[in-house]
Amino acid sequence: MKRIDAIREIAAKAKESSSLLVANIGVPCKELYNVYDMPNNFYMLGSMGLASSIGLGLALSIPDKKVLTIEGDGSVLMNMGSLATIASFEPENYLLVIIDNGSYGSTGNQPTATSRNTDLAAIAKGAGNKKVCVVDDVQSLKKALLCMDYGIIVVKAIKGNSGADVIELNPEQIIDRFMDISSRPSQ
């Protein structure tokens, strides 16, 4: 499966569940924007490796809202501590989807450690995450998204980018509309 196919399914789950959706750096953000742009989407245009941490922070601070995060294998490898932090809190409103295509897709498809022998699902389990599954086709992903409201799904995908168009929102527009959806009124 291609990354954009996985993003299409994740976006459908986010739309159906009115979830906040955080997308990792670069091309995956553009692909999400082109597949299904909505104010619930937070496009992480910078800070590689932090989408999983941002998603966790949102889930912990807004416990009555579902949060999905799309992260790449290269990004998770940069911030593996987030897997242990997710395990220690285990919020029931947070689903992390790691799209593992074995490459740094936004910088030229250079191979990551997962293209060799690094197993992110095993690392996530070793960090203490109880709900971890691996899928490698669209039907398996659909089933996992239907069955899991929280935990970690590792999606095995083929490397390559879709050629999606640039996001037509500036960073201020992205954050402003996302804050309108995600922020709580002052008490």
With pLDDT > 90 as the criterion, what percentage of the chain qualifies?
A: 81
pLDDT computed for residue 45 by the predictor: 86
pLDDT-derived band at 154, boundaries 50, 70, 90: very high
**Using CA of residue 35, residue 115, residue 127, residue 44, what is the dihedral sign?**
negative
Least confident of 75-89, 104-118, 124-138, 159-173: 104-118
- The number of angstroms, rounded, from the C-alpha of 48 to the middle of its chain's C-alpha atoms is 12
Predicted local confidence at residue 8, as pLDDT? 96
Over range 130-150, report the average pLDDT: 97
The DSSP result for 124-164, as a single string, is HHHTT-S-EEEE-SHHHHHHHHHH-SSEEEEEE-BS----P
The model's pLDDT over 106-121, given as tens digits with 9 standing for 90+, comes to: 776 788 889 999 999 9
pTM over 0.85: yes
Mean of pLDDT values over 54-75: 96
Mean pLDDT of the chain: 93
Tell me if the domain spanning 3-182 has CATH number 1.20.1560.10: no
> Which tokens go with 13?
């789950």
Residue ranges covered by each domain of the chain: 3-182
Would you say 32 and 23 are in contact if contact means Cβ atoms under 8 Å apart? yes
70 with 32: CB under 8 angstroms? yes
